[in-house]
A and B are shown apart, each in its own frame.
Chain A
């Protein structure tokens, strides 16, 4: 157990739907990062939050959004889902927003049918 908790572990949904992925960072970590891993794209950085504020943005689609709440957990919202959104979504956390000591969760596997 890495200390980073992601729920749900698996999610199957239909095209056009909206889903929310949840991440609880390791105790004491202020930064949360979201990554997408599809078969043909590798691990792609989506977005980072630090203590509730957006800190960095990667190749995140406009249909996707995220936020970090006062208790530091984060949610990734994916809407108008397409088949190509099927992927593993990982959350990682770190203490202070630097990249030393990223801890990743076990991921959410999203299947869009």
Chain B
């Protein structure tokens, strides 16, 4: 599985867009980019995933560069409840397990 690199921590003001970067320079052609988050000690929560094209759902947008070596998760209007650790994971769709790295600790400030 491709290794990912994320900043250990980020801050964002409430109401602003939070942009979380992820580098995955060794990603293979059929590996997907997944984002999960973990709020405090709750179970991780699926946010979004994509292969090549940009994706958007009710929670966030995922922007994947054309060379697929990096991506950005965008929370368009961050709220205090978005404070969490965000994990970027790169895997084959048929892989047997999610492998979590250290993630980015995002703090939304009032």
A residues sitting closer than 8 Å to B (CB atoms) are 2, 4, 33, 35, 42-43, 45, 48, 55-56, 58, 88, 90, 92, 97-107, 109
Contact = CB atoms under 8 A, between A and B. Distances in A.
**Dominant secondary structure at the B interface:** loop
Contacts of B102: 42
A99 B95 contact: yes
Nearest to B38: A43
Given A42-B101, A43-B100, A45-B98, A100 B93 contact: yes
Contacts of A48: 96-97
Which of B34, B38, B46, B100 has the largest number of chain A CB atoms within 10 A?
B46
B41 A102 contact: no
Nearest to A45: B97
A43 B85 CA distance: 12
A5 to B, nearest CB: 11
A42 B103 CA distance: 9
